[in-house]
Every structure is written in structure tokens, then in C-alpha cells.
Structure 1
Amino acid sequence: MKFHTTPLLATAVVVLLLLVAGAQAADDGQNANSKRVKLKDVTVTAPGNHSMPISDPEKTVIDVEDYEKAAPVHNVVDILKDSALVDFRGKSDIDVRSERGESPILLRGFDVRRYVNAVDGVTFDQPLHFGQVVDYSLVPLDQIASVEIIPGAHSARYSGKAMGGVINFKTKPLTRKKTVKPDIKLRSSIGEYATYDNRAVLESGYEGFNMAATYHRYTTNGYLRHGDAVMDSYGWMLGYTFTSGAYFKYMGNYVEKDRESYAKNDPSGDYDPAYPEVTSSTAGDIADDSKYHLENTSHRFSYLQPTPIGDFSFGLSYIEKDKHYSTSLDDGQLVVNPNSAGKNLAFNIQDEIRLFNAHTVVLGFDFLEYYVSFDPREDDDNRVRSSRSGFIEDNWQITDRLSVRAGLRYEEVSLSINNYSTITGWGSVEGYQVTLDPPQRYIEKDFDQWMPKFFATYQLGDHAAWLRDTSISAGVSKFWNVAPYCLVCPGRYAQVEPEHGINYDLIFNRRLWQNINLKVDFSYYEIKDYVADNWDYGQYSMFQMRDGRKVFTGEGLPEGLEGSDMYINLDEVTRQGVEVELNGNLLDPLSFYISYAFQDYEYDGSEPAGMELGDVAKHRISAGLRYRPFEKTVVMLDYKYQDEQIAHDIAEIPEGSGNYVSIDNPMSAYNVFDLGVRQLLFKGKNLIKDLSLGLYVKNLFNEAYENSRGYPMTDQSFSAEVSFRF
């Protein structure tokens, strides 16, 4: 059975809800004695301590610990996917992977090279493989309290590359404990395709001392052919909180993963009807026995010290890719292909100074460095990027109506670009990519930029009773992005200038009725010198047609120019978007959320690479209902719609070979429903504090759809989950 709808129908439903809620709000607003609700303090909480996404003018906050979803939550990406701001782009919705050239999610249509990921405000990502990659398995799910999704470039506290915004994962706060008795949580789920997820969390401490240990094992045979995956994650935390409010905390995480590479399943050749069809044009010639192994370690430290004039804080993150290699059979022989190691060091220092009531100034400095071994066969750590930044941010509640956040950020970025390779097929001249006199192994580049930031909110409630709990916000900020391309590729690829531009946001926020809140955000970007992938169109492109596919080779190109125009700057790109968030309770036992996003890129130049900026869905809808027919029962229905689009992909085939293939995959629009029921079986104060059982149906109507790069997503499947707390 197929269930279809259209963006027009979905939009009509949203409008109808707004009209009904708006009419009720108008009646409610006539009561002059009704209680005023301060927008920034609104917390939408349904019965049973269930938290819906909370929206204010600047961000959307998701409470992770109490978040309810119509499917088991295996990782933080499963939570992020419920916002229409976030576009999931993975090859599989069963096993979320961060692979070369891939960003598993987009924010406002921007990939990970154009938005910031952070844990407790400290940036983290890794320049691994063919581009800048974030491994979300390094975010310790069981130690995350909430997720902030901050759209736009209006915060001076984060890197200039945050044109799309920031995803900030906030860890659980430390608490003062009265007893040393540990709190133990066990959660286990089982689903089709031999998918097992087992998690254990132990939290303990005494008085100000806090400690935690976590273990997470995830295994699946996968929906796709050769989709086996095994992940083991170990986490630990030590911290101490003082009665003064000061604290320090150290967190560590070690992740080890073994995965098979998704192989083609082409009816015209090697085909197994037990698996979905994946053609050669999608998977290329990945060997059926190709596998890869990855080990990552992260260390994070945070410190806060209140002072008479403000709060001084320090945060540090260090991430290292300990091992990474792929294996495959070549003429019956096992071949091991090592990949580049990578390290990421980041820290920030800031002081939030209270000048007087409702007026604070934040002064800060942050530092970010990436290290990569260009040639995995050599023991050579190279600092490919170093960023040093200072910022000031003034937060002032000028009047009861008007609040302003104005900031200024200064960044210096140094690049050390690989200019030498011994790998065959890179078109090098005696190993050097760019001919310099004398020859240079690395090309050094330095950039710097000032970026003003501004965001203001004006409350309209004093102007008329019907404008109660209504605000208008505006943001105007500059962004700047150095090297949004492969940081470990040969030097010829790096002959482009940094991106820069202005981001405008106009936001309407209103409490419609009771706890139903509406947020509408209109955004506009002017991006100068946008860095575009020109692999398919470059005059000196290293792609050539072989057997109907574009294959990476430098043969027949002028010496010294091979690949020199595979990335280019587009003069100006504009992006406009609309984001709508509506959530709250229709009735006491019935809560809902609706999230809609529209985005459109435009480029008027002559370069054909600019025509591929439409590699995003123009319309996206995420929605959910939570119904509690009984005190301990919740029924969950989630819905997602995505417009049609075309995905452009560059794949290395086979992995580790240095041979790249250009692939275009058109994707049709889709509608997907998930259904789940969770029952609290027992709740007490003795040995077992609570015991619950969940039953879920994913892709309820068995929609056939693709999410990215031509790989089919999971069909209708069933799963169950049980959780204990001792």
C-alpha cells in the first residue's frame, strides 16, 4: 500500500492549524487579566514529563533524555532528523556513516563544511578522507542532555564557517549527590535485518563528585547488500561541582567500527533478489568483499568559575583517528589500504561579564587545529589548518520590549596545503602538484577577517492585547569560510579564495494558544566567491569518460595544470529560505510538532557548476503526534516529506585506490510514516525504578524511496525496545 500527499496539501494543513489556533489566541487575548508568558522562558511540556522541541527566536532546543520518537534512537542523528532544518543524507537509515566526501546531514541545505558542530560550545570535526567529516558516533548519546539547533550566522562565539548555523550538543550538568548509590540504566532494542542496539549507563558520585561510565554496542546486517556493521563505543566522565557553582568535568569516548562497503546489486549482472536493487551507476565497482575498520578517541574538558564580575569558562576538545584502513581481495590476495590519520584540537576561553542588570558582555578566544598524515604510508603529521579567533559579544535588554545582541569576531586562518604525492594517477610533476622554485612540499597560505554580528528581538505585547506573547526578531551578520573543500587533496585543488557574505534573518514568534507556539523564520544569504565543485566541467579536469562513467585520471592534460580548475569560485550565490515551527498541546493528552523548511539557491553566472547548487530538496516537512490514552501509555506517529532532488556524488572506487568516479543520482519525492507505542510497565522506588517496553513500525506504508546518492532506504520494518532503570 502506498500513501501519497503533496507539498500543497501539507502546507494547507499547516495553514488550517494556524488559522484555528490564531482565532483561539485572539479570543484568549481579550482577557486583560490573563497571565503574561515571557517568550524566552516558555517550556512546552506535555503530561508525563514528555518534552517537545522548544523554539525561541534564536534556536530550537530538543531535550534528549526525555525525547520521544516513533522508533528506537540509536545515535544523535536520529534525533536531529526530526527537524526540517536538518536534511539526512546518509546511504542508509539503519547505519549512519560519515564517509569520505559525505556529510550525513545538512543544516539549512549546507553541508558540514558550512556549519559548525560543537559539544558544550567547543567546535569539533575532522579533516578526514575526501573532505571535512564529522563522526557523530563521537557524540556520547547517553551523556547528552539537550541539542541546540541554531540557524544562521548570528553568533560571534562560533567559527565564521557557521553560515548555515550551529548544532551544539550540551552534556548533562553536574549535580550534588546525597548518596553514593549508583543509578544504572539499561536499554536494548531488536529490529529486522539482525539489528541489535544495547546500551548501559552507570552514574554515581557523592556530594560534589560525579562519575559516569557508558557502553554502547550496535550491530546490523543492513538493509543493503553487504551492509554489515559493528560498532562498540565506550565512554567515561569524571567531574566535581562546588557549592559556589564552579565545576570541572572531563569526558572521554572511544569508538571502534567495522563495516562492509555497500556493494552493487544490479539485475544486469551480479544480483541477489534478497536485497534491494543498487545499480552500477550508484555503487560503481566496489568489491563485494571490501570492508573498512575505524577507531576514534575523543577527550573533552570543561571548567567554569564564577567571579564577582562574571563567569570565567574554559573548554577543550581533542579527537584522534587512531586507526583507519580498508581491506579487499585482489586476485585472491587480501589487500590492506591504509587511510590518512587525523587529529583535531580545539579550545576556547571566555569570560561572561555582568555589567549591570540585564546587560552582559562576553570576551573570548578560541583555537582550532587539524593534523593529517597526507600519505598513510608515511609517518608524517602535518598541520593542515590552524585557526585563531577572538570575539566580543554584548547582550543587552535595553527596554522591556527590546533586547539586542551585537558581536564582533576576528579570525586568522593558516593553511598548509599538500603539494606532493607518490600515489599513481594524481598527475604530479616529479611528485609535486604545483611547480614552485624551489620545490615546496607544502603550500602555505594565511587569511584573516573581521565579522560583525547583530541580532535583536522586539516584544509587541504592550502595543495591543491581541499581540500578547508576540515578538519580531532580526539578524544581520557577516560570515567567512576558508577552504570549504578537501583539505588533504593535492595543491592544485586549493587555488580558490575564501567564501564570504551576509546572512539576513527575519523571525516572527508567537504563543498562539495555551502552550502552542509558532515560529516563522525568513532567511536570505548573499554568498560571494562561493566554492563550487567543478570536477565534471573543468578544462583541466582529471575526470575522463571510461565505459560510460567519468573516471579520475590525469592522462593527456597539460603538465602542471592537471586538476587545477576542479574547484572554482562562483561570483555570487544567493539562498532564500523559510522555516516554520509549530508545537504544543492540542489537548492535555495530545501533543504535536510541525516543522517545515523551504530553500532555494540561485546563481546567474555562466559556469555550469553553479547549476548543481540545487542538490537540496526545496520543500521538507517533519511532523509528529504524541497521544497518551492512559497515564503510562504513549502512542507516537511521525511523518516526513521531502521534495524531489538530484544528488551529485564523488566516490573513490575501490576505496583507498585514488580512483574517483563522478555520479549523479536523481531522487523522487517521498512521504514516510513511523508508528510506535511505548508502555511504562512498572515505576517504583526500590530496586527497579522503572521498566518500559516499546513497539515500533518504521515506514508504516512501505514507501519506496531514496534519501541520498541513489541508495534505497529501509522498507517497512518492525522493532522492539525494553529499558530498565535501577
Structure 2
Amino acid sequence: MSNTFKVSYKPLSAAITLVLAVTITANAKAADPYQLNSLADSEQSLANSAMPSTVLDPIVVTATRSHRALSDAPVKVDVISSKQIEDNHAHTLKEALELLPNVYLKQVHGKTGYEISMQGFTGDQVLVLIDGLPITASTGSTVNLNQYMTMDIEQIEVVQGAASAQFGSAAMGGVINIITKPINKTKAYVNTELATNGDQNPSGDDIDANKRFIAAGIEGALDPAQRLQARLSASYLDDDGLNTDTARWPRIKDASEQTQVTGRLSYTPDDRTMLTHSKLWAEASRYSEDDTSRFNLRVAQNILPQQREESINKDRISIGGSTDIHLNKNTQTYQLSAQALYEDYQSDSDTLSNEVLASSRNTNITTALGQVQLDLPAIDSGAHMHLLQVGGQVQRDTLSQTKNSISELISDEVSRDVGELYLQDDWLIGDHWEILTGIRYQDDQDFGDHVAPKVAVKYNRTDASGRDHIFRASVGSGYRVPNLKERYYVFDHSNLGYKVMGNPSLQPETSTSYQVGYQGQIGDDLNLSINGFYNDVEDLIQTDNENAIIENGISIFQYTNIDSAYTYGGDIGIDWQVDDRATLQATYAYLKTKNESANSELTYRPNHKVMLALDYQLSDTLQLIPRLNYESKQLIDTAAQSYSPSWWTLDSQLNYKIDDNFSLYGAVNNIFDTQRDVRDTSDYRPIDNREWLIGARFNWQ
């Protein structure tokens, strides 16, 4: 296949020209920036007045691709703050997302790590971003949430349901956007931690340090004017895995050693007559991981001990900038931003059978992307205001994979090129209504044109007691192009009697997503949130197990568009400020799915989930955070109608602040010691047993 970048730009250019022409000649006046600042201030004040004093109203960007107060966003956004991440000692993205009550995590099949499921959509239907730029799907299909460390995270923003209008293909089930910390004053930190899993430590020593973690970072200005700033951070996590019986070869959990190093530079130029508030940045990171899996393979009447050793290296480079543009001396201001990304993912995996090399697999995945966005001056027509935004993106993905030096793809390397354009209008109507409309045009070299629209409506009012109530509703179109692995991969297990073949003729998955919600303060110290959703999905891509082709005694299966499905459900949550020292959060989430082709539920989707969390400040220096989790049983095999059991877990964190710079902490995770039965292949309860840990953190500033 040719590697020439072939994206049709004529429709993109024509659309951009049309949008700019219509906008510039619109029969309305541009709003004064001081009006906008006043509006933002009043919105922030309104948002803060609707929350207890201990609940912050952070600024989010994922809802509208612009900065908005969380409670003011026209679509629901779940936020995990850096304080929550630090207080709960979440070191990976997977551990951070466990703090959300309405998402589901499961192990990546055949890999060390986890993927996410939201509203019934799997990990390959959810887009994961860092500052608006995608993370490479490490399996070729889904993002491994273990492969990102949290040391530089300011907050994590999660939008559930179809977000293709804002973020394109792969955002059919929602978006997870990691917002990194801005570089501020000079400061540094060191965080270290030790943990043990008792009698499941592979060393055989119950009090051995089975898990070791250390992270450090330093940042600050490099010049007296503080225009050039830099940050360097590093994180190391070494987990020896778990072994339920040290006398047996297999291990229930893989050993994993992870390292991440990130450097970032930012530069603030002097304001010019035409350009103000400019910002330039560049970031480079290196992620490395070494995993060891031990398991048994049954061949005829023999059981052969197997060991898989995988080495992963991921290099990521991104650059970007933003500026306000003043075309003349009046108050009209355009905001322009642009970003570019290159990420290279390498995996080398060796499988040994009876200590003899049986196979060697090498994978290389790359992503190259550039995007630009222009926010136009606000159009003020009295009681109405329009905030218009237009942007475009080009992306190229490549995949190559060999086993024993022979390609496992239909060709040696496969690629995908795509160009996209999006347009958004945020329409503010009076003091109470807001309508957000967006549309995204995608031009794929293999699948041609596609348009994904979305409309969201928000209504807010203040009652006689001064409490704010917010109602939201949205409908959007979801869209996912088959990934390169689904189209071209050859999964050859001829020694076990089967193959799974990619299918270049696959068609994109599509969905229509409906979301409704309410958020408000129903008491001086009590917040309530209620949300519901319905997703109608067509052309789901699955392995066709019913129509295998037999060649030389080998069953050959193929990916195909065979399924349609729907998912619906919702969640209800309360946030109660019990007193000045304690906050209680309780959430119940419900999910119902149906595979209409099989007339059955979709697999790996629990129907019920409960989370109860208490943040209790025992004293000025001592903080207790217990968290109770419940997941109901889930269907694992449709044909056999086998289910994984329901489960409860209880985690508890105790944080001791010695002074402003030094703190100690301890935790017991999975206090109930809930763990799957390794003899039951349908048991998908937590893989980790009870864990005890201690740690320390030192901050210098």
C-alpha cells in the first residue's frame, strides 16, 4: 500500500471558506470583550453560588472545546481533580478513572492493562486524549489505561455518549480528556511508596515490598521575565505481580515495570499590536514498560509452562500555540490555536514454551496529527449571543506487526489517512437558555465522506432560595471507522485450530445518542445529579462465529458488521456536605444493553454499580477517605449463558499532613479481600487481593 498522504482537501477548503464568509458578513455586531469577561464572571459567580463552599467549580474545555465553568457547560462533564488523584494515590490513568462511579474497567484481552467501557461502549469506541491530542491505541484497537502515569495531570474530563461532532471517529462512546498542569512558580516534589499483597507476593515473603513506586518533578521559570518556563517529571512503578500458589508456575497477575519521563517547555511572547495573550509550548515524553506473564498451555494431554515477556516503548512529541488576533483597532478579537502530534509505539513480545523460544512478535503503531481551531468574535444581537468556532484536523495512522518475522497483516504495513472539519455555534439566549450545535465533516481515504451532527440544550434557573437548578439534554450522531487491526490483522492460531482474519470490506459503526440530565442544589449542603441515556448502535463490528470457513481442518473466522444493539440507563448521585469536615458522595448507576442479533445482553457489561465515598478531615492534619464499590454480575458468554459473580470492595486511605511541605500516608485497598477464582474462566471479579501500602511526599516551593 502506498504511504502517500491522500486526503481530499477541496471539500474542507470550500467549507472553511463558506463558514468564514458567512460569519464575517453576519448582520450582527461583535460583542465587546469586556462584556464577555463580565458574562464569564457572572457565570462563575452563579456556578459557585449553586455549590457548597467545599465543592469547587473548575474550568473545563472538553464540553465545548473552549473554557467554561463546569456547572455552566451545556453537556455533562465528569471531572477528576489533581487533588482527588493525589489524595487517593492514583498513579496510573486506570487508578484515577476508578474514582468515577459511572464507568467500567476491564482487563485488555491478552495484555497487561485495562480498558474502559462507558454507557455500554467498549474501549475502542471511546477516545482518550491528552490536552486534546489522542493517545495511541496500544493494542491497535483500544487504549491501555495502565500506560499513562498521573504525575502531571491537572484534571481528567469525561464526556459520555456520542461526541463525534466535536472529536471525530472513535468518540462514538465518549471522550476522556487529560488536562495537564500549567507551569507556574518554581517548585519540586518527590513521592515514594511501598506496598505488599501478603501471602500472594511472588517472593513468598508476606511482608515483602511487592510494589514500589517513586515519582519526582521540578518546574519553574528559566528567565527573569518568566516568559520561558520548563518542567521535568519522571515516574517509576515496579509491580512483581501476584501468585496464589508459589509452588505452581502460573501467576494470576503479570509482573510489570513502568517508567515515564516527560519534559515540557512553554513560552509567552511579548504582546504585539495585532497579537496578544500568545502562548507557545512543546512537550516530549518517553514511556517504557516491561511485562512478564506466566501461564500454562494445554496441548493434547500435555500441560506446557509458558512465559511471555513484552517490552514496550512509546515516544510522544507534541507542540502547540494559541493567540488572540486583533485585525483592527476595534474590539473584535479572534482566538487562534494550533497543535501537532507525533507518537511512535513499539512492542516486542517473546513467548517461551518450556523455556524455549516459541514465537516472537513485533508491533509498531504510529500516529501523526495536526489540528487548528479559530474562535470568532462573539456575535451580540441584544438578548442573544453566538460564540462561533471552526476547526480542522488531518491525521495519519500506520500499523505493522510481525510474528517470527512474518507479517500478521494482509500487507507489510497498513495506514489510514483522514481529514476533518468541524463547526460549532454556542447560542446564549437571555439569562437562562443555551443551545450548542455542532457538526463535523470527515473525509477518509477509504470510507469517503461522513457528517456527524450534535445538538445540546441547557436551561438554568435560580429558585426563591437562591439555589441553582440546571437541566441538560442532547442528541448526537456517533461514528467509528474500523481500525487498522480490524481491517488487516491476521490472528493465526492454527496450532489451536483457528484463525481470525481482518476484513478490508468492513463498514463504519454508527450510533444515535440521547442524553438528559439534571443538576442542582436541593439543600444548603446537598447537591443532586440525575442523568439518563439511550444509544442506538448499528453495524457493530464483531467476530462472525456463526459462519466460519474450514480450510485444511482450520476454522477461519472474520470480522464483520453483523450486530446492532442498544444501550440505555442512567445514574443518580448526591454530594452531601455533612459538616465542615466531612463530605459524603453516593452514586448508583444502571446499564441495560441488548445485542439485537443474538437477542441477548452484550457481554462484559454489569447492570448495576454503586459507589459510596467519604472524605473526612479528622483533624487539621489527618484525612480519612474510605470508598465502597459494588458491581453486579455480568454476562461473559452468550452461548453458554455464563456470568461473572457480583462483588463488593472497600478501600481506605489515611493521609497525614506534617506541614505544608511534607506528608505521610497509608492505605488498605480491597479490605474485603474480594478476588476472582482463577479456576473459573467466567470469573471477572478484581484480580488484586488485599493490598497494604505506605508512602511519603515532599513538596518544595
Give the TM-score normalised by the residue count of structure 1: 0.74
The alpha-carbon deviation at position 359 of structure 1 amounts to 2.7
1:587 is matched with 579
Q: Indicate whether 1:294 and 2:312 are aligned.
A: yes
Q: 1:400 to 1:47 in 2, by over 3 A?
A: closer
What is the CA deviation profile of residues 194-233 of structure 1, one whole-angstrom value per residue up to 9, with x for unaligned ones? 1011001111214121111111111111124542221122
1:359 is matched with 386
1:720 is matched with 694
**Mapped partners of 1:346, 1:672: distance in 2:** 41
The alpha-carbon deviation at position 174 of structure 1 amounts to 4.0
Contact kept, 8 Å, 1:174 with 1:210, in 2: the verdict is yes
SS of the residue aligned with 1:38? Answer: helix
Contact kept, 8 Å, 1:540 with 1:557, in 2: the verdict is no
1:642 counterpart (591, 608, 631): 631
Alignment of 1:656-671 (within 5 A): 666-671=643-648
Q: 1:101 to 1:475 in 2, by over 3 A?
A: farther
**Mapped partners of 1:62, 1:698: distance in 2:** 23
The alpha-carbon deviation at position 525 of structure 1 amounts to 1.3
Contact kept, 8 Å, 1:124 with 1:346, in 2: the verdict is no
1:318 is matched with 342
2:273 is matched with none
**Mapped partners of 1:489, 1:66: distance in 2:** 42
2:142 is matched with 133
The alpha-carbon deviation at position 108 of structure 1 amounts to 2.1
2:425 is matched with 394
1:32 is matched with none
Q: Indicate whether 1:214 and 2:236 are aligned.
A: no
SS of the residue aligned with 1:245? Answer: strand
Amino acid at match of 2:345: K
Contact kept, 8 Å, 1:301 with 1:316, in 2: the verdict is yes
2:568 is matched with 576
Q: Indicate whether 1:189 and 2:182 are aligned.
A: no
Q: Indicate whether 1:114 and 2:125 are aligned.
A: yes
What is the CA deviation profile of residues 620-674 of structure 1, one whole-angstrom value per residue up to 9, with x for unaligned ones? 122210111211211111111101013369xxxxxxxxxxxx9997311111111
Q: Indicate whether 1:692 and 2:685 are aligned.
A: no
Amino acid at match of 1:146: Q
SS of the residue aligned with 1:700? Answer: coil
SS of the residue aligned with 1:611? Answer: coil
Structure ranking higher on relative contact order (CA contacts 8 Å, 6+ apart): 1
1:307 is matched with 325
**Mapped partners of 1:36, 1:112: distance in 2:** 34
**Mapped partners of 2:389, 2:611: distance in 1:** 35
Alignment of 1:344-383 (within 5 A): 344-356=367-379, 358-375=385-402, 377=405, 382-383=413-414
Q: Which moved more, 1:611-620 or 1:152-161?
A: 152-161
**Mapped partners of 1:563, 1:599: distance in 2:** 30
Q: Indicate whether 1:231 and 2:242 are aligned.
A: no
SS of the residue aligned with 2:431? Answer: coil
Contact kept, 8 Å, 2:470 with 2:520, in 1: the verdict is yes
Amino acid at match of 2:92: N
What is the CA deviation profile of residues 609-628 of structure 1, one whole-angstrom value per residue up to 9, with x for unaligned ones? x6351420011122210111
The alpha-carbon deviation at position 453 of structure 1 amounts to 0.9
Q: 1:499 to 1:533 in 2, by over 3 A?
A: same
1:673 is matched with 650
Contact kept, 8 Å, 1:132 with 1:487, in 2: the verdict is no
1:165 counterpart (159, 174, 197): 174
1:87 counterpart (92, 101, 104): 104
**Mapped partners of 1:285, 1:60: distance in 2:** 50
Contact kept, 8 Å, 2:124 with 2:141, in 1: the verdict is yes
1:549 is matched with none
Q: 1:630 to 1:467 in 2, by over 3 A?
A: closer
Q: Indicate whether 1:457 and 2:480 are aligned.
A: no
SS of the residue aligned with 1:616? Answer: coil
2:486 is matched with 486
1:501 counterpart (507, 511, 514): 511
Amino acid at match of 1:448: D
Q: Which moved more, 1:673-682 or 1:521-530?
A: 521-530
Q: Indicate whether 1:73 and 2:62 are aligned.
A: no
Q: Indicate whether 1:682 and 2:659 are aligned.
A: yes
The alpha-carbon deviation at position 538 of structure 1 amounts to 2.3
Q: How many residues align?
A: 590
What is the CA deviation profile of residues 176-207 of structure 1, one whole-angstrom value per residue up to 9, with x for unaligned ones? x5xxxx41100001000410110011112141
SS of the residue aligned with 1:134? Answer: coil
Q: 1:156 to 1:331 in 2, by over 3 A?
A: closer
**Mapped partners of 2:447, 2:215: distance in 1:** 45
Q: Indicate whether 1:627 and 2:616 are aligned.
A: yes
Contact kept, 8 Å, 2:113 with 2:146, in 1: the verdict is no
Q: 1:615 to 1:332 in 2, by over 3 A?
A: closer
**Mapped partners of 2:540, 2:641: distance in 1:** 21
Contact kept, 8 Å, 2:237 with 2:258, in 1: the verdict is yes
1:146 counterpart (155, 170, 178): 155
**Mapped partners of 2:101, 2:647: distance in 1:** 14
**Mapped partners of 2:180, 2:118: distance in 1:** 21
The alpha-carbon deviation at position 465 of structure 1 amounts to 2.6
Contact kept, 8 Å, 1:154 with 1:475, in 2: the verdict is no
Structure 1 residue runs of 5 or longer lacking an equivalent are: 1-34, 91-96, 265-269, 271-279, 415-444, 543-553, 650-661, 684-689
State the superposition RMSD in angstroms: 3.4
Alignment of 1:438-457 (within 5 A): 445-457=446-458
**Mapped partners of 1:137, 1:319: distance in 2:** 17
